[in-house]
Structure 1
């Protein structure tokens, strides 16, 4: 019984430590999403793990297949998307709840992609970014973003 109580208290301490920590220290890394997940506990089907961390790791693992400009773009986008979550947390004094975070986070993609010049990337990089997301599109809102992205650079 004493051991069970110790394990329970240790687990509670770990959760409280994450809640008290600042995920902002992990900006620019895929661990940022894991930190948010530990704070908010949205589950494996929640935005932080199913989308944020998943695609962050997917693009990061594939960076060698991009030009230098493409790798720089991916790093900037990763940080931009995470900074937008941080700004929302500061504005609302909390992170968007699990039920609302996907809508908010996906909504920041247009801003970040425009901010860091998606259309200025080499065509090969743009195509690779879109193809990576299309292969396993897991969020309807991202499908809509994909349509926007398809049209964003018409003429290039």
Structure 2
């Protein structure tokens, strides 16, 4: 995606999307088969939704739209149904993203969405 629309080192693709996607792919064998399936499903969801929502967007709009797609993709692919140990493995893998304020916002939205879904 960076080749199609270059946003540089502070753009979504290089700063967030690619590094975390790669991290999950490299470490995929450390996850249970259920989590491996979820990782595949959420990765596909994110790729589709981000490409659909950012075709005519600026770099800052792309970053925002991509981050906004995370909550819906997580919920739609079954994150809320994962047990706490499985969720913790995902959170632990994303711990480096906590330096981004937007990650905290997305985490709150995800928690709220899961609470609503499970109620």
The structure 1 residue matched to 2:58, chosen from 97, 101, 123, is 97
Counterpart Cα distance in 2 of 1:144 and 1:121: 21
TM-score with structure 1 setting the length? 0.66
1:143 corresponds to which residue? 104
In angstroms, what is the RMSD of aligned CA positions?
A: 2.0
CA contact (8 A) 1:37 1:49 kept: yes
1:130 corresponds to which residue? 91
Question: Does 1:73 pair with 2:34?
Answer: no
Q: Structure 1: which 5+ residue stretches go unaligned?
A: 1-35
TM-score with structure 2 setting the length? 0.84
User: Post-superposition shift, 1:150?
Assistant: 4.3
CA contact (8 A) 1:130 1:146 kept: no
1:54 corresponds to which residue? 19
Q: Structure 2: which 5+ residue stretches go unaligned?
A: none
User: Post-superposition shift, 1:113?
Assistant: 0.8
1:15 corresponds to which residue? none
Counterpart Cα distance in 2 of 1:110 and 1:153: 13
Counterpart Cα distance in 2 of 1:139 and 1:102: 12
Question: Does 1:115 pair with 2:76?
Answer: yes
Matched residue count:
116
CA contact (8 A) 2:97 2:103 kept: no
Q: Which has the higher contact order (CA 8 A, sep 6+)?
A: 2
